[in-house]
Chains A and B, each alone.
Chain A
Amino acid sequence: MNVLEVEQLRHYWDDGVEVLDIESLVLAQGEKLLLTGASGSGKSTLLNIIAGLLAPNSGKVFFQGELTSGLAPSKRDALRASQMGIIYQQLNLLPYLNALDNVRTTLAVSGRRESQTPETLLSNLGIDAALQRKPVTKLSLGQKQRVAIARALIAQPSLILADEPTASLDKHNRDNFMQLLMAQLADSDSALLMVSHDPAIAEMGFDRVVSLAEVNRVLA
């Protein structure tokens, strides 16, 4: 079964410049897809549309067979909260919460029950009890990224969207991050759609690697 289907998607910037023209993009359940492309090629815009944060100008987005691009904003919010986990390049952790509460926020918003407690998941990702209770502003970049992974995974989402999560990392930290993410996803049914301009991560366990230029006719 496909988790995600994008059909005839078109989107324009406010100034009328077309940024996305995608005929079709499909992601199967549990599939790990890397979408590569240069900066400014519309990768983040595509993820925002899939996440329901942005409404496309035309086209359809199906999530688990349900048309989501026409849903009301509140329903898209609910869908994102309950079915999607998102990892951003800027991580977007709530600065006034500690690591543990950042993860708990996702659970509270989604209303879903966790398969493992936030404490356990964070511990598995190398964030010990003391670090879990530290404000995220006091954590290192690597530690924040692990918290971001935990936050995306805790509600067992069907789809994880990762928007250039390794863009600001050096090679060592990038590899660590990818290993941790893939290790956590190995035992789950969650699909992963990661976008990146870094072709080096293509060898890190993805089922499929697609260049945005292949699917986005604007870039052709």
Chain B
Amino acid sequence: MFWLKLSWASLWHRRAMSIVSLLALTVTIGLWLSVEQVRVQSKAHFSQAISGTDMIVGAKGGEINLLLYSVFHMGEPISDIRWQTVEALRERDEVAWVVPIALGDSHRGFRVVGTEPEFFQRYQFRQGQPLNFNVGAAFAGVNDVVVGAQVAKRLGYSIGDQLTITHGLQAMAMAEHDEHPFTITGILAPTGTPVDQALYVSLEALHQIHANWQLGSMVPGSNVLGRFQPKTVTAAFVGLERRTLVFRLQRWIQNYRTEPIQGILPGVALTRLWQMHAISEQALRLIAGLVVLCGLLVLLAQNMANVLLRQEEYRLLRLTGMRHWRIVLLVCTENAMITTFASLLSVLVVMLVGELLHEWVLSEFGIWFSILVPTLWQWLALLGLVVMSALLPVIPMWQHRSKDQHG
């Protein structure tokens, strides 16, 4: 304990320099932790976009492509699937529920998803969290629309506002379905998933507006009323009675003869998709590593300078009979103390900033992240950093010893 006190007293004696070192390391470690958290949270954000759905069924093609357009609303579907296929799925014993989705239209840059009201009960994200409405409720009629949190925020929508949707994904005035205005009946709570960036209407509404639409322009005077049965949808989210039935359903899908379809497991596809982005993860890791390396180099430079600046102090310690290794240990302890304080301070600051910005980032940018408590691996890395920083003075102190008159 006395030795810790001695190291602390020495640090306090040089408190201006110690505080600068502490701040420099806090910033370094804070940056590293932040980059690390961005990496971890990006992965979590990405992989938790959908949950509770056991399978996504769509037209045969690449599984990543199906995942991208059905969940992330990115890219174009290769082909639609027939409504007959949706019904065939619903009749399977393995299947508990099926929620079809139809894509193709947009509203001011945001995707419009045609689906059924059940979508709002079945779609889950982030380990089984259900969708909630900030205000209002699911659509009940062909003129109702539900908007995601980001859509409402960016476009300044509230309940009762009217909007029209655009045919296709390009915002061309001529392609506007302005003959079919929608009224907002619900605004979803932020989820930090692609759900926030979409509008949801009934499949019936989509059918109606497209039934009046031929060859990319509206047929004047045409109108369709009453119930309908959609001919095609883009994909279907499927929930199973038991997850173990997934292989049985996969076999059925592979042998399905009506049209070429595929079923993907969202978790597996998400993992594969993330692996395709492994380079960005590695880049983030590299940046984080370089940040730490910079911090350690600064500390090493300071240690080397200290060996010269603190000659008198070391001489006084030697006069008491203190052995060289003990003096080295004292200096190592000082480094370990600074790095430990800097690590704890960084964790605290990153957690505090995370806590303060958590809601704001979700509502402003639609990015969800959990409170930034370091992972076990990150704690171990911090421990390693403390050990490494503690060992830094050994080399300059040893070099100093060789010049010591004492030898």
Chain B interface residues toward A at CB < 8 A: 2-3, 5-6, 9-10, 12-13, 313, 316-326, 405-407
Contact = CB atoms under 8 A, between A and B. Distances in A.
Contacts of A77: 318, 321-324
Interface residues of A, number: 28
Most A-side CB within 10 Å, residue of B2, B10, B319, B324: B319
A151 B319 CA distance: 12
A50 B158 CA distance: 90
A92 B316 contact: yes
Given A104-B2, A108-B3, A96 B9 contact: yes
Contact of B5 (A79, A82, A95, A101): A101
A135 B406 CA distance: 29
A81 to B, nearest CB: 3
B320 A109 contact: yes
Nearest to B326: A109
A105 B326 CA distance: 12
A108 B406 contact: no
Interface of B is mostly: helix
B316 A109 contact: no
Given A77-B323, A84-B321, A108-B2, A94 B407 contact: no
Contacts of A86: 319
A63 interface: no
Interface of A is mostly: helix
Contacts of B3: 108
9 contacts: A55-B407, A73-B407, A74-B325, A79-B321, A82-B321, A94-B9, A94-B317, A96-B13, A106-B320
B319 A97 contact: no
Given A74-B324, A94-B316, A53 B406 contact: yes
A54 interface: yes
A53 B317 contact: no
Given A96-B9, A96-B10, A105-B6, A54 B405 contact: yes
Contacts of B2: 104-105, 108
A177 interface: no
Given A96-B9, A96-B12, A96-B13, A81 B406 contact: no
A10 interface: no
A55 B404 CA distance: 12
A166 interface: no
A80 B321 contact: yes
Given A73-B406, A74-B324, A104-B2, A95 B13 contact: yes
